[in-house]
Each structure stands twice: as C-alpha cells, then as structure tokens.
Structure 1
Amino acid sequence: MTITKKTALIYCQDQFGLVDGKTAAALVRHSELYTIVGVIDSLSAGNDAGEILGEAISDIPIFSDFQDALAHLSETPHCYIYGKAPLDVCIPSDERLLILEAMEHGMNIINGLHEFFSEDQEFVAAAVQNNVQIKDIRKSPNVKDLHVFSGRIYEITVPVIAILGTDCACGKMTTAVELNNALNRLGIKSVFVATGQTSLMQGAIYGASIDALISQFVIGEIENAVIQAFEQEKPDIILVEGQSAVSHPAFMSSLGILKGSMPDGIILQHPPAREFRCDFPALLMPTIESEIQLIETISSARVLAIALSHENLAIEEILSTIQQYETQLNLPTTDVLSYGCKKLIQALAVHFPKLSQKIKPENFPETRVLAKA
C-alpha cells in the first residue's frame, strides 16, 4: 500500500540535536508518513537539519520561529509536529500559543507527549473552529482493545531481536530502523515493532507506545504486536525497539519488552562518552559490562552485538572506540550512522544460519561517512 506523505513542520525550540530533541532528529532522518519541510529552533536557525545532526545535508532548513518558517516555505505544511520529548509533563504557555497559531493556519497537530492535546478544551475548540485534527500518539487504546500476556509468543518461529540500551535517548530506535532497512534491502524480510511514540510517528505499522499503557497491559501489548507482525507479514526476522534501560531506576519499559517479546538475541546500544543518565545528572551511567550481565541474568537471550552512539565523540575517536569495545567485550561493535549495519547483520547471520542463506556479501550497504561529530 502506497502512503501519501503529508508535509510537516517540526517544533523543537532550544533542543534540536540535543537529547530532548530526539523525536525531531528521528523524523528528519526517517519518516514514512511525513515529508519534513522544516524545523523550528532559533538556536540553530539558518542551518541544515542534517548537518546539525552531524550527518549529510538533508535539505531540511531550520527556522528561527513559526513566522520565519511560513515566510520561507512555498506553502503552509499540512502538519505541525511537537518534536521535543521533555521529562516535564505539560508544555509552557508560549508553546500553547504556537499550537493555536498553527491550527489557525489550517495545520493538523501531531503530539507525542503524555499531555493529550485532544483532551484540552481550548485546543479542541480551536481544532473544530479551524477544521483540523489533533493526533495524540501516546494516547492508549480503549481497555477493551488492549491485550494481556497469552503465552502465544512461544509460537513465533523466526528470530526476534530486541535492540536495548544502557540509557534513554542513546540511539536504540535509530539502530533498529537502520538495521530493519538494511536487512530488507538485502532481501531478508524484516519487520520492525515500535514501542515508543517517535517510531510510531515515523510510520511503524506494528507496536504501541508502551510508557502510556497501564502496566497490566504492557507485556501483552508487546506480545500481541510481535504476534501480529509474525502472522500478517510472514517475516524472516522481527526487530523490537527498546526503551530506556533495564538498569534505569526511573523506568520499567525494558523489562516489559524482554518479557513480552521473549527475544532470541539482543543488540545493545551504548553512548561511550556519556557520563550521566540523560535528564538525571546525579545518576552515573552504568558500565556496558554491568548492563550485559543484568540483561543476561533476567533473560534467556544473549547480547549478540554492540551498537555505539557517537555523541560527544570526535570523528577520529569513533573507530578507535569501536575497536576498544570489540577487544574489551569480544562482541561485534559498530556505530550504524558512521559505519552502517554490516557487522550487526553478520552477527545475526552467524547466530541464525537461515538468515545467512539469503545474504550475498556484495549486497551489503556501503559504509557511511559522517559530516562531523
């Protein structure tokens, strides 16, 4: 089925390229639902969004404010996306005014926060008046449509791989999306199961924003998404997006992912240069060894490979860091945004020989080269 993309402007004031701007960054990199025509962030205005992320030119401009965007775009975008993922629950008053202004210009509102705009009386009235829609990505389905764990996950007969991490916002989703795309380019049918609001915004067909669910249903919803992907797509492999970290004291989502998907293997994402948990400056990052030990203690799955985030690393440091981790952990290690997914695919082929039968070495995607760190 061909999806007609809607044009979209992303609001990410003060945060684009930073941890809390991860939703905007992900949509700039990849979206099956939206054609991103610009980002709002006065701190980076005048630059190309891809270059700010340290990657190739994306031809997506960054604007200083909403009016600047409308003045330079050839037409008003269909959608206004709130592209920040802050720890705070509610948005400030100045950002409310911008959302109202976007609706006055006929833009639909896409919201990934826990604060539901579709339940805000002022926003609802403005949407009706301007004949636009509000979509809350994190809004849970009705209880009657939710699932509890059934045990049917044991019926899955293809490898299920969870991409977990040592912290929030460290690249788990990016690695999962890049790996999913690379596998499909090779002729291996891979299906991606989303567990967060950003990947659902990108267009993932299967999954749920699990941190918005009542805890009773988290494991069952993940299990159901994996089963749906298996039954409807007949894939060769299923990739499940991770959330937070098993060791993170503030979040439980990784445990639900492990229990609900019963993975056959883990790819572990880690930001080597990060000293403290993002949004928690008093919490030191765990060592990658301790995270592996914890995952493999509570799960029957083994960590098969490591994917690194190059945040705060100079270009020349990335390769040496990869080599250091491979020596230290005796596990294939890469940074998919710098060097592609070849090592991850090779690791999967070694552990799951049926996959290797479909892989031709000459079809591996080329190594990427970063524009800057």
Structure 2
Amino acid sequence: MNLRERFDVPVPAIVLAEGEFGTTGGKTANGVVTHSEVFDAKAIVDSETAGRQPSEVLGTPDAPDVPIADSVAAALEAAPEVEALVIGVAPAGGQLPDPWVEEIEAAIEAGCDVVSGLHVFLSEDEHWTALADEYDVSLVDVRKPPGGDELRVGDGSVDDVDADLVLTLGTDCAVGKRTATFELYRAAVEAGLDAGWVATGQTGIMVGAHEGVVVDRVPADFVAGVVEDMVKAVAADHDLVFVEGQACLTHRAYSSVTLGVLHGTWPDAVVIADEPSREKRTHFERFDVDGVEKERSLIEDLSEATVAGLSTWGDPEAQEETHGLPAANVYHEGGAAELLGIVRDSLDEAPTASAGDGTDGEA
C-alpha cells in the first residue's frame, strides 16, 4: 500500500488519538503528527491532553503547533480546511469503541476521508460504506492484507535488484525500528541520495512509505514473498532502500515474522535498534531481552547481511564500547545523519558485487 498514490499530498488532516496521544498506545498517531509526508496534521483529538501543546505531550520541539481538541467537532471548528480523519489508535481487543462512532460519523459528514488503523475494517461494514457513499468520501483500512492473487512465497528474486538494501531490526518490539528506518530515509534524502523506504506496519504506511503492508496480517508462508515484492518495487525507482523490520529473531512470540522480513529483504546491511535499559520484553514479562550480541549472531547466521551498527536509545559511545558496534541515537541532534554515515561506511566496505546480487555500492 502506498498512500502517496491515493491522495494529493500533503493532506490536511485530523488525527484521532483518543486517550493515547503521547503514549506507546498512540504510537501511530504520534508518528503521523511528527513525521508523516502524506498527512499534514492540523488538529489532534484526545480528551486526555486537550488544550496542551503537542510538543509538550510528545516531548519533542519538532512537533507541529496545532490544537489538541476534545472532540472531532471541536477539531473541525479549529481546522475547517481538513480533508481526512486519521485514526491513529488501535484499541486493545481490536474493536471500534462505541464513543468513537459519533466522532467518525462527524468527520465523514464534514466530507473527510477516513484512514483507519483499526483491526476491524470500516470498508467492509455496511453502515460505514453507506455513509461514505452518501458523503462521497473514501474509507482506507491500512491493516487490510494483500488479496490472494497478490500472495506468493519468497523465491529469491530480490537478489536481482541493483539497489543497496538496508533493514532495521531490533532486540525487542517497540524499540524504535520504524523511527530509525524513517530517520535514515529522511537523512539520506537530505544528503542528496536517491532513497526510498518500505513499511511493515501501519504507522509507516500512514507516515508515507513508498510501499507498505501490515505484515502481521499476512499468512506466515507468504511474508517473505510479500516483503520481497515491496522491496523490488521500491528498488526499481531508488538506489538505496530502507526496510522497517518487526519484532526480533529472539522473540518467542514474534520471531517468525521477523525471519520472514529478513529473508524477504535479504539485506546488504542491518541496523539493530536497541533500548539498553530494557530487561524484560514489552508485554511479555516472563521473557528476558536476549540482547544485541545474540541478535547480531542470529542475523548474520540466517542471512548474508552485515550488521552495520546500532540505533540506540542510550549514549552511543557507551553502547559502542559495550557491543563493539558503531552506534548513534536518532533522537539526538544529528543522530540520524551519524547513523546514515555508519550504514554507508558498511556498504562501502562490503565486497564489490557483480550486477544482479543486490549491492551496487552507490549509496
């Protein structure tokens, strides 16, 4: 899915983040507000933080200075020019909360397209499709997986691309893989490189990846093939492709999707995202985080990639000394450019490859 092709970007939008703006549960809304190249956030809906500034809630000075309202109606009053409602929270249990029904209806009745990250698909519900038809708006469910005719197993055809491929993996869930991927892409563009990126989660799709799928909705046998097709599509138009990973290879709950992404990308270089203070897995307190060294070993055993370095939440110098890998913190000023330099050094040091094996050294 490429939302750049569906809309005349950037689209002025309201971001629905009810009860979760600035929290881990609102990471999609947070990402859309701060990073999206598709949606230009003009207002945010969250009754918990209404009246505050986004920069204060998110803890970043780069957040746009737009109102946080307590309802869609109030957001529409503050930003009548909006053309879309982005649902940036997927509540536990996967259902549409009853209080949100009127909020979404208000947006549709005001002529807004709805871009949803919910587990339930609005575009398959008669109530929502009838209302969308009545007000001539679109319903876009970013979690909807590819159709059966788009599914295939991986066949290694990604080896034939001429672009350099860089995959961001991690030591756990929610360690900043999507942020690191986007920041690498943005730093590359700012450096004048011909870069594109691939998302494997809903936030990345909404932020504006050149191709994306919510990979955890893809049947297991087809993950590598779906990722391979996305990488090939972006590599056809760009010299350098960054791919967002999911979970990690040492995670007993999610390792299968991680391996599918690794094998579908078959990267030249991998960046490991790590929160050094984390000891237990997010939402899985019985599982310890296995750490950088084990993750690195598995990546290099299960692929032909080189682990280029770390995207760390901690002090880069300390983490470099601990793990023996170059490190940068993309949340620090200049950190993304430093991480890009680490990646480019790794690509430059890779053996010269013949055309068709996926490394042309142009990055």
1:92 aligned partner: 97
How far off its partner does 1:166 sit?
A: 1.9
Q: Which residue of 2 aligns with 1:337?
A: 331
Map of 1:164 onto structure 2: 169
Identity %: 31
Q: Please point out which of 165, 178, 181 is paired with 1:173.
A: 178
Deviation at 1:93, TM superposition (A): 1.6
Alpha-carbon deviation of 1:275? 4.3
Q: Contact between 2:67 and 2:78, CA under 8 Å: does it hold in 1?
A: no
Find the residue that maps to 1:9 and give its secondary structure: strand
Q: Kindly indicate whether the alpha-carbon contact (under 8 Å) linking 2:198 and 2:212 is maintained by their aligned counterparts in 1.
A: yes
Aligned to 1:69: 75
Aligned mates of 2:91, 2:273 — CA distance in 1: 21
Cα root mean square deviation, aligned: 2.5
CA distance in 2, matches of 1:162, 1:99: 36
| Correspondence 1:278 to 2:282 | yes
The corresponding residue for 1:140 is 145
Asked if structure 2 preserves the Cα contact closer than 8 Å seen for 1:276 and 1:284, the reply is: yes
2:197 aligned counterpart, secondary structure: strand
CA distance in 2, matches of 1:201, 1:224: 19
Q: What's the counterpart of residue 319 of structure 2?
A: 325
Amino acid at match of 1:206: E
Compared with structure 1, are the counterparts of its residues 353 and 285 closer, same or farther at alpha carbon in structure 2 (3 Å cutoff)? closer
For residues 296 and 78 of structure 1, the distance between their equivalents in structure 2, rounded to whole angstroms, comes to 46
Aligned to 2:66: 60
Q: 1:268 aligns with which of 259, 272, 285?
A: 272
Task: Please say if 1:131 is aligned against 2:136.
Answer: yes
Distance in 1 of aligned mates of 2:106 and 2:284: 33
Shift of 1:60: 2.4
Alpha-carbon separation, structure 1, partners of 2:114 and 2:191: 36
Name the structure 2 match of 1:228: 233
* Deviation, structure 1 residue 257: 0.8
For the 8 Å contact 1:117–1:136, the answer to whether it is kept is yes
Q: Could you tell me how far apart the structure 2 residues matched to 1:234 and 1:94 are?
A: 43
Equivalent residue of 2:48, what SS? helix
Q: Which amino acid aligns with 1:335?
A: N
The 10-residue stretch of structure 1 (7-16 or 96-105) with the greater mean CA deviation from structure 2: 96-105
How far off is 1:129 after superposition? 2.6
> In the aligned structure 1, how far is the partner of 2:274 from the partner of 2:90?
19
Within 5 A, what are the aligned runs for 1:1-373?
Answer: 3-56=8-61, 57-73=63-79, 75=80, 77-231=82-236, 233-235=237-239, 237-251=240-254, 252-309=256-313, 318=314, 321-339=315-333, 340-353=335-348
Deviation at 1:256, TM superposition (A): 0.9
Partner SS for 2:41: strand
Encode CA deviations 1:17-38: one digit per residue, 9 max, x unaligned: 1111111111112222211111
Contact 1:118 1:135 in 2 (8 A): yes
Shift of 1:86: 4.1
Contact 2:164 2:362 in 1 (8 A): no
Q: Give the SS at the match of 2:82.
A: coil
**1:28–1:50 CA contact under 8 A, matched in 2:** no
Question: Structure 2 length normalisation: TM-score?
Answer: 0.87
- Residue 357 of structure 2: aligned partner: none
Distance in 1, matches of 2:234 and 2:290, equals: 33
Contact 1:268 1:303 in 2 (8 A): yes
The Cα of 1:234 is off from its aligned counterpart by 4.3
Asked whether the equivalents of residues 86 and 116 of structure 2 are also in contact (C-alpha less than 8 Å), the reply is yes
Equivalent position SS for 2:332 = helix
Q: Deviations over 1:26-77 (max 9, x none)?
A: 111222221111111122222222332211142122222223323333x152
Structure 1's 63 and 279: CA in aligned 2 closer, same or farther, altered over 3 A?
A: farther
DSSP 3-state at the match of 1:140: coil
Render the CA deviation track for 1:170-224: whole Å, top value 9, x for unaligned: 2111111111111122122222122122111122222322222222321111111
Cα distance, 1:263 vs structure 2: 1.0
- Could you tell me how far apart the structure 1 residues matched to 2:330 and 2:246 are? 18
- Equivalent pairs counted in the alignment come to 346
Q: Provide Cα deviations, 1:306-354, integer angstroms capped at 9, x if missing partner.
A: 1123xxxxxxxx5xx3222111011111211213223322222322228
Rounded Cα–Cα distance in structure 2 between residues aligned with 1:271 and 1:16: 21
- In the alignment, is the contact (CA less than 8 A) between 1:207 and 1:221 conserved in 2? no
Structure 1 Cα separation of the partners of residues 279 and 52 of structure 2? 28
Q: CA deviation at 1:14?
A: 1.7
For structure 2, list consecutive stretches of 5 or more residues without a partner in the other structure.
351-360
**Once the 2 structures are TM-superposed, how far is the Cα of residue 87 of structure 1 from its aligned partner?**
4.5
Q: 1:193 to 1:119 in 2, by over 3 A?
A: same
Q: TM-score if structure 1 supplies the norm length?
A: 0.85
